[in-house]
Structure formats: structure tokens, C-alpha cells
A and B are shown apart, each in its own frame.
Chain A
Amino acid sequence: MDALTPYILAAARYVLPVLALWVLARCVRSMLREKYEPEVWGYVLDGDGDKVFPLTHWENLLGRAKSADVSLSDPSVSRVHAVLIRNDKGLWRLYDTFSKGGAWVNAKNAEDEEGAAVRSGDTLALADKELVFEDISPAKRAELEKDRTPAGRNIGPGLTLLGLTVFQAFLALEHSVTADADHMLIVVLGFAALILIEWFCYFAMRSIRRTGFEVETLAFFLTTLGLSVVATSAPDDMYKDVILIIAGVVLFFITGWWLRDLERTKKARTAVALLALVLLALNLVIGKISGGARNWISLGGFTIQPSELVKVAYIYVGAATLDRLFRTRNLIVFIAFSAICVIALALMGDFGTALIFFATFLVISFMRSGSIATVALAITGAGLAGFLMLSIKPYIAQRFATWGHAWEDVYDKGYQQTRAMSAAASGGLFGKGAGAGWLKDVTAANTDMVFGVLCEELGLIVAVCAILAILILAFFAVRSAAHGRSSYYVIAACASVSMMMVQLSLNVFGSMDILPFTGVTFPFVSKGGTSLLSCWMLLAFIKAADTRKGASFVVKPPSKSGGEEDDDE
């Protein structure tokens, strides 16, 4: 066996990047290149010209604006006139969005906050313009649904997952060679457990006839890299990490299941917001200081990072349905909530997380308001607040001073960055082999400098694949936005991917001295319990926006949606 060791390591070094690229390429083809047809939920008929507008979302904007879903040319119609919304139960309502000419359903005014109920055949009057609403018949819907491309028809997710499994097997093999005798078994068992978990999920999805598994595959790919980092840096924690992965996956399914019901989701927003504030307050009162930031609390033997959970709550609260987007009051409440979150994080000294919240705030507020001015104003405000913070917290100012000058102070202020960069470069394109690096022994290597560990041990190609995996999720969320049922899901998905991207930027580019070093985690990859859990929960938001046919367990199939009862498979 010992004689074979160098050959095993040499082969695995080149096999791993190839497999990683192959898995990602399959995900790209399936998620971004396959046909993605819209769903149809009803029609609006233009009485004058027999024009038919298919309603491809649950939430539709009616108005004179080009960007309206039902774009009308009648001059009496306001640009943003009314929104026509379908709920989970298949019931439609019309809401007047402060139009000039008013909106009516069969002469019933739709002005107040509850709007007016709409049934098939009802007349919608927008100022002088009259339209007829027609619900889609189950037969017609079934017919249309048949023509849609099911997820994974051409690029089977099972084969992709098999590719990932081979990747994991090779990685485990490398670890089994480099791990010391005491840890060899637990490391190999850890990878075996991960393989079991992912195939269990795959078959669970199959059993409820869901064929989209790419989002999960990408998350499992990243989790694999995270497990590899644990195996090399803290093999004693292998077991704890596997339990955390299971917990993360369970939370992913719970969150996804919860998000299935939009009404339920919307109703719980206030409660979630309050919970988030309580967590932050608790953190401020009983938090523990670590690395200059007071962002840990200890609960019955477990240490958790509440700010990680608040990230999920923040997006949950921040996303909104179309009818609410046009009410400024809602945006103001959200801005206040954001401000409290960011200030609380600043007080804790968790500058990196505050920055992530702020960037996510920009994305959400832009998606809600569509106003560049709002965003510009927010950036200016934050810039001023930032300067204030720099003057109050000297250690943050110092990080800014070190930024770009890490190599000038290798033994103190640039200690971590220079070591991360040195180790990263020494790995070349293919790495030194899993478990064979030296950076793993430097403090915080498996969290803040995790990109360095990936580059050193698995090589630049695999490390860049980790970034690509998140980018693929982002492009997929944007692509799905065109076919989203509710703007709630679209905003939540785009905010989730943005949050992940900002976080990975701060982690990767911070440790490589391209951005200030803020010490945040790389989604799914960095070691850290709460962070892993929150990433899996954020993934549920992405899954909720995946409306490809039969793709997501979070999205009810049209045939089942709109029935009297909410029937789970």
C-alpha cells in the first residue's frame, strides 16, 4: 500500500479538478441552458381588440408602463395602475396601486388594502379601460403543463450526483493517505456519511417525483469541500461536522416546506422580524468576544452565532409580494429593520457581517423600489456611518490600513493574509493534495482563510470551482426570476444569492488582500456550525424560485396548486 501512495496522490490530484469541472458543467447545462417555459395561470382579455394576455405569474402588474405584465395603451390608464394577484388556493384579487382613474371589479372598487376578489369572467375596469379576466381551466393547464420541459430531462441529475460521488470518493482516498492513523477511520466515515446523506435526499426527491437536484448538488459540492477542510484542519471535529450537515439539510427541507405556502410565509414575517431582533439583543447582552467581535453566544453547551440566523430572517422579512412593493410605508418599515440589524452588528464589532447585511439591503431595496436614487442615498449614508465606525473601532481602521499592504507587515498585521496567499500560490493549479498543506495549522485557516486552504491542497481550479458553484446559483436565481410565481420568491432568491456572493467576496478577496480582511465565512465551505445551517436555509429560498416543471419540492405543481386542500405528496 505504501508503495502505491505516491501514485494515488498523483492521480487524484488531476482527477479532482476534472470531476469538479464536469459536475459544474452539467449543472450549468441543466440550470442555465435547458428550455425554461413559463407557467400560465389565467388570461386577461382586452374587450376592444380581442387581445389575450396570458398571466404567467401569480402576481401581475396592469398599467400603461412597458414593463407592466399586462401593458395597456389606453391613455386613461396609469403607468402602474393595479396588480392582479392569485393566492395559493387559486383565488384572485385585484389591488389598486394608487392609480389616477381608479380600478373596479364588476363595479366594486379595489382601492382599499384588501383589494377586490376576482372570479373567472369578471370585468376589470381600469379607469376608462375595460378588461375581462378568465381563469385557466384545469384541462387547459394540464395541456400546457405537458409541453413544458421537465427539469433534468436531458441532463439527468442522478448522473451529475454520481460524478460528485466519485469526486468525494477520490477526495476521501487522498485524505486516507495523508491522515494520521488515529483519524483515518473517522475521516473516511465522514465522507461516506456525506455520500449517504446526499443520495438519501436524491431518492427522497425522486419519491415525490421531483427531478431537479442541481441546486442541492452544488450545495453538496461546496459542503464536500468544507468537509475536506475539516478533515485536514480539525479531524477530531469530523463527526460534529457530519451532524451539522444533517442538521443543515433538515433545516433546508423544513424551511422549503414552510415557504411552499405563501400565505403562511407572509403571515409569519412580523414574528420572524421580532425573533431576529430578540436574537440580536440577546447577543449584545450575553455575547462572547472572539477575534475582536462580540458575535457568539453560549446556550446550554452549544455556541451559536446569532447573526448567522438573523441573515435568514433578514431575507425572509425583506422580500415582499408585488402588492406591497408600491406602498412606501412597507419599505420604510424594512429600512428601519435593516438599520437596527446593521447597528446591532456594528455594536458587536462584527464589521464583516454588517457589510454583508448592508450589501443585501441594497439588493433588496433596489428590487423592491427599482430606484437607483434610493440605493445611492443608502450608500452615502452608510459611507458616513462607516467613517464614524472607523474612528470608533481602531482595529477596523487598522484592517483598512493593512489593506493592500499585507506584505509590508508579514509578522503582525499582514500575518494571516500573507500566509493565506503564500499557501494558496504554493498549491499551483492542482494543489499539494488533500491533507498535505501547511496553512491548515495557522489559526482561523479553516474559516477566514479557507480559500487559501482550498488552493493549497486542492489547487486553484477546484478553489475557483467553489466560487463558480455560487455564481451558477446566482445566474440560476436571476434566470428563474423571469418565471417566478411571486415577487416574494424572486426577491428572496436574488437576495440570498447576493448575500452568498458578497460573503464569499469578503472571505476570498479579503484573505488574498484584494479587499480589507474582515474575517467572514465562505458559504458552505468555512468551518462553523451556525454558518453552515444558515447557508442551507438560504438555499431553500433559491429552491423556492425554481419553477421549472417538477423541479422543486418547495414549488407546488400547478395541478396540485389551487385545489381546495393543500395536499402534500
Chain B
Amino acid sequence: MKKVTRRAIAALVVAAFVITGVFVYCFDYVKNGAVWASYFGVSNVTGTSTITDRNGVVLASETGGKVTYAADYTTRLACYQTVGDLSGNVGTGALTMFRSKLAGFNLVSGTTQSTGTKLSLTIDSALNATAYKALAGRSGAVLVCNYKTGEILCMVSAPSQDPSNPSSSPAEGTYLNKCISSTFTPGSVFKLVTLTAAIENVSDLDSQTFTCKGSVDVAGVTIHCTGTHGSQTVEQALANSCNCAFAKIAQEVGGATLEKYAQKLGMTEAHTLDGIRTAAGSFEKADDGSSELSWSGIGQSTDLVCPYSMLRLVSAIANGGELAEPTLLGRAAIGGKTKLLSQATADRLKEFMSYNVQSSYGTGSFPGLKICAKSGTAEVGDGTSHAWFTGFLADDAHPYAFVVVVEHGGGGLRQAGPIANAVLQAAVAKY
């Protein structure tokens, strides 16, 4: 019998398994309980809670499981992906992501009855509406933030729909907040990354002369340029967005270094915006001397970038290299600072981007704005191009960084530039 008695340990092994499971569950509960509890909480918590924009405009208000959205039609569409909806179709919407803040939760009492909970987002719904109108039915993303505080003032994704009257078969991409959940071929805006790597790694960058004959041959592959730019400095090469020059600069930087900078500047990794995970971009390291390396330095090849990652980069450039992490919750979120660039590099890039506007884009397109920018026209392979326009205002009174993407929109400056101008003019006029 003693033998059998000893073998009863088998039951203890099973018991140990159960106990381990209970601990795993309790650990999960402490860690994720708030998110779980509030996930379906909107329809199940009786109480009232409201989401407003920075000026108190009501974007969504729920009472006893029913949600009413913003009063104005355009505002509802312009804020759809940012606010989300009751059924959680937009996974990154505030109604879904910030539910625990709305419902009220603590580990001891579980969900608590919430009455009058108010959540104020940093966006300005009027700016969103301006941006949405400027997109004029085209698909794309518009992001504006204050680079000193990180507060996101404008976040619009199109196509959109009216959450009060949702379509059963909305246009493709309606449920995506393209500002944070999509990646696009960056085209020439990626030259900012290549240039950063060059500034810090190519010692004779400033003394070099780049000659453009309209195309260049790299490892047997012809890389075409947007024009024939002749002999240029690096500053002029960026302003001309010269592919021949950047094909050469990419080679001088080298594949490994370029990959390192794509990572370091946050192009390839996913970030978190107040707990919302953003889309990770991609950058494939190419062999030194190959045409792929040149293409990847120009922002073509397999490069993909999320608009949010680009916003972080231009914000850091604008703020002397130190990035105030963007936020939708403002002071409610504990947003940190990230040192993305050295002060010297940031200042250098700022000069370059200012020169772009002065010499190439023309200040006339942006009346009254001290704008520094970079445009991008990213070929997507089907004959169309994504139009990018990103940058910031070098203006302490109006410290705004921005990213505009128009999908299949065509030329960056021509298509995305006016949208940026419209939103920035409205922001400057208002604040």
C-alpha cells in the first residue's frame, strides 16, 4: 500500500497545475482587468459619460448604453476614427481604448457606476472638420500636433462614415485610423531619414557636389529623377528632392547604417499613443552597392512608414531633437520625452527643411506661415503615387508639426500641400 500511497502524488501534480492556473489568472486580472472589464462596459454600465474635444465640443455622450455623437454632421465624419463607435468597429477609437476611463474600474470593486465621467481629448474638432473638407473625398490621413506639448490637435482619416447612421458596407478602410494604423510607401519624405544618417556619418557631406543628369545608373539599374538638376549642394539636392543625389548619398551611408537610422528614428517600430498601439513600418536592409540600397534611401523599394512615425520625426526636428511624445489625452496621460536626435542634427535638418520651402516650394503657397517642410510623391507601382507633405512651423507661438498623406493623390506638394496649409492657417488663426 505504501507504494500506492506514494503514487498519490499524481493527484498533487494535477493540483499544482490548478494552483498555477489560478495564479496566472489573478496575475492577468491585476494586469489587464481594467481593459477587460471596460471592453464591453459601455453597453453594460448604467451611467453617463462624455467624450469632448479640447474646447468642450461633445463628440460622444453615452447614457445607459446609448451613445449620441457630435451634433454637426461633418464633425461626426471628421472625428469618426478618433472617437470610434459603440460596436468597436474602429479598434483604436477612444470609445474602445479609453473605456476603462469612461466606465470607472478598480480591482476591488470591479466596474463602478460612472456618473458624469468626462474625457477630454486634445483634438480640436473644428480643425478636424477643416482637414476633412480639405481632403475633399480623397482617402488619406491628416495629423497635426503641438511639438512642445505633444498634444494632437487634428487627427483625421478618410474615407469615413457617420456613426449616427452607419453603413452596413462602408468603403474599404473606413474602420482604420490611417494616421496610426496604416503604413504607406514614404517616397521622398524618407529622404529626411537618409539625410539624418548622412549628416551624422558622412563627414564631407557639405563640401560634396551632386551632379544630376536626369537619371543615374546604379549596379546596372537606371534610377530616374524628377528633373535634370545639374550640379547641386546637398541642400539644393533635398530642395530638388533629387533622386540621383540621394541614390549616391544612400550608398555613402551604407545599408547597415541606413537600417540603423530607420530603426533609431522610429520608422520601423510600433509606438504607443496613450496605450494605443500604432502600426510598425518596414525597412529592408540592402547590400552596399546595390540598386535596392539607393531605392530604399529614396523611400521607395519596400519601405513603408506609418504617418504617426513621421509625425514623431518632424516633431523632434522642430523641438531641437527632443520629442514630446504625442498624446490624445493631454495632461491626463503621462507622456514622456524622447531624445530622438542631437540638437545639432535637428537644427541642421530644420535649416534644410526651411530652405526647401524658401527655394523650391514657394512661401506663396503658405502665406504668413514660417513653414519648414518636405514633400513626397511615393510611387506605389500601379502608376499612381501617394502624396505626402510633412513638416512644422518654426514659430514659438504656433508650434505645430504636421503630416498629410493623400492616397493615390499624385504630387506631394500640389495635392497634400494645400491640405496642410488649410489646417495650419485655421490653427494659427484660432490659437
Contact = CB atoms under 8 A, between A and B. Distances in A.
A514 B4 contact: no
Contacts of B5: 481-482, 484, 490
Interface string A121-157: 0000000000000000000000000000000000000
Contacts of A477: 8, 11
B25 A426 contact: no
Interface in A410-458: 410, 418-419, 421-432, 438, 456
A467 B22 contact: yes
A494 B106 contact: no
B7 A428 contact: no
Main secondary structure of the interface of B (DSSP, over half): helix
Interface stretch (B28-36, B192-200, B263-271, B293-301): B28-36
B103 to A, nearest CB: 8
Interface stretch (B12-20, B137-145, B279-287): B12-20
Nearest to A475: B15
B352 interface: no
B430 interface: no
A363 B29 CA distance: 31
A504 to B, nearest CB: 7
Given A428-B110, A430-B109, A460-B29, A471 B19 contact: yes
B24 A514 contact: yes
Contacts of A515: 21
Contacts, number: 151
Nearest to A57: B1
Nearest to A484: B1
B181 to A, nearest CB: 14
A494 B6 CA distance: 12
Main secondary structure on A side of the interface with B: helix
Contacts of A362: 10
Interface string A452-481: 000010011000100100110011011001
Nearest to B24: A514
A481 B24 contact: no
Interface stretch (B39-47, B124-132, B234-242): B39-47
A366 B33 CA distance: 39
A498 B11 contact: yes
A367 B17 contact: no
Contact of A491 (B4, B40, B110): B4
A325 B37 CA distance: 51
Instruction: Give the one of A456, A467, A471, A494 with max B CB within 10 A.
Output: A494
B27 to A, nearest CB: 10
A497 B11 contact: yes
A69 B2 contact: yes
Contact of A425 (B1, B21, B22, B33): B33
A172 interface: no
A410 B2 contact: no
Contacts of A490: 1, 4-5, 8
B105 interface: yes
B44 A481 contact: no
Interface string B337-352: 0000000000000000
Interface in B88-142: 88, 105-111
B25 A427 contact: no
Interface in B384-404: none
6 closest residue pairs by CB, A with B: A428-B110, A425-B37, A481-B8, A425-B36, A426-B37, A57-B1
Given A366-B7, A459-B110, A509-B24, 14 more contacts: A370-B7, A422-B39, A422-B41, A423-B40, A424-B29, A426-B110, A438-B44, A471-B19, A474-B14, A477-B8, A477-B11, A498-B10, A501-B11, A505-B17
18 contacts: A322-B1, A322-B4, A363-B10, A407-B39, A422-B41, A425-B29, A426-B44, A426-B110, A428-B109, A464-B26, A467-B18, A474-B12, A484-B5, A490-B1, A491-B4, A494-B11, A505-B21, A512-B28
Interface of A: 56-57, 59-61, 65, 67-69, 322, 325, 359, 362-363, 366-367, 370, 407, 410, 418-419, 421-432, 438, 456, 459-460, 464, 467, 470-471, 474-475, 477-478, 481-482, 484, 487, 490-491, 494, 497-498, 501-502, 504-505, 508-509, 512, 514-515
